[in-house]
Amino acid sequence: MADIDRIFYAYDALVARASIMSLGPKELYSGGALTASASISGSWAKGIRILGELVALGTMHGELLVHQRRTNWVAWSKIGSVDFTLDRTNDAGGRPVSWSGWVHQLKMLDKNVVVYGSNGIAILMPVTEPAPTFGYKDIHPNGLLDRNLLVGTDMIHYFVDTDGNLCSLDSQGIKVLGYRSYLKTLHQMGRIPTMHLERQSQRIFICNGVVGFIYTKNGLGWGPANITGLIQRDGEVKLVSPQEFTYAPALVETQILDVGTRDMKPLQKITISTYSPEDFYFQIDHRADIKQQFRTTAWKRFNSRGEGFVGISAIEFRVRVKSLTPVETQIDDLVMHFRSPYTTKEREVVK
């Protein structure tokens, strides 16, 4: 209501200050999702003085138009031109998407254009019949978590949706890669998140100045928290930051594991296969009742043979492994050892 009040106040003020008999269309207010304009005309009668004040009497009429901004519209120009004028050639055009909110980015994907918005994702396909224009199809019910969380090439895109999931999009469609528990709060820490793609290796850097991640074909891991740019030139890749790079400790986490049975399982130890000069530590979430929250053990260090002794019985487990210092290494596998009659269960974390 505050915006509407301001619009009508502005209109009243415009009429009161009018010194000419006709005012063409004039924008009175533009802000948020509203735009208001007015056009007035009329004729003044002879001025008379009432109680010492000069009052101008006359007839006046006009119109006030209030409409929503077209924040969810896309437009295309004439073929081979940047001219968006609508005419009988029917080359240029425009249309709204099916969801409300803002259109954040348009990005080529093969011969199509993908529309990324705040509340949805759609694709525009070029068609020639009955006239050259674009067809339309919604392909994802969620929009971008932030307008910056989108990277890609003409063949594949990567983005973080409003659920916090990392997703990919190619000619086969959208694939939800996951990692919601890590990415969903990127825009809630008072920072602007960024996303950068290293095209040759397809590594993706995601950060917001507080936390940072690197996504590869092997999964999501921790990375620099303060990357502001990525330069690729002559086969070399350089990361840009206004200050020295900051890192979180290296950490990986499994999904919830029940090793194929809902019985109570006595976990004796876990073993890790890797090569690194750094020490690795493990922590285990466990619960015996799915209606209860997970209980979490203290961090323990793997011994020199890669063994970590546990001694916990539960239905479900979740294993977490970390290094106290940033480290680039490869974890070949993580094996959970249960006391008989349960067999050893391997859990491959990172190839």
Query: Phi and psi at residue 47, in whole multiples of 5°?
Result: -70, 140
Task: Report domain extents, the chain.
Answer: 2-68, 73-176, 185-248, 251-347
Q: Tell me the three state secondary structure of residue 250.
A: coil
- CA 37, CA 117: separation in Å to the nearest integer? 27
Q: Given this model, what pLDDT does residue 302 score?
A: 93
* Among 92, 33, 99, residue whose Cα is nearest residue 72: 99
Q: Given this model, what pLDDT does residue 65 score?
A: 54
Q: Given this model, what pLDDT does residue 329 score?
A: 66
- HSE, CB side, 13 Å, CA atoms: give it for residue 23: 21
Where are the strands (E) in 129-172, listed by range?
133-140, 150-152, 157-160, 166-170
pLDDT tens digits, the chain, 351 residues: what are they? 444 444 444 444 444 443 333 334 444 444 454 555 544 455 444 444 444 454 444 555 555 555 556 788 888 888 888 888 888 777 888 888 998 889 999 999 999 999 999 999 999 998 888 777 888 999 999 999 999 999 999 999 999 999 999 999 999 999 999 988 889 888 876 778 999 998 888 889 998 888 888 898 878 887 888 888 888 777 777 887 777 777 666 777 888 888 888 889 999 999 988 877 788 999 999 999 988 999 999 999 999 899 999 999 999 999 988 887 666 667 778 889 988 765 544 443 333
- HSE, CB side, 13 Å, CA atoms: give it for residue 282: 20
C-alpha distances in angstroms, 174 versus 86, 98, 121, 157, 219?
A: 34, 18, 10, 9, 17
Q: Given this model, what pLDDT does residue 278 score?
A: 80
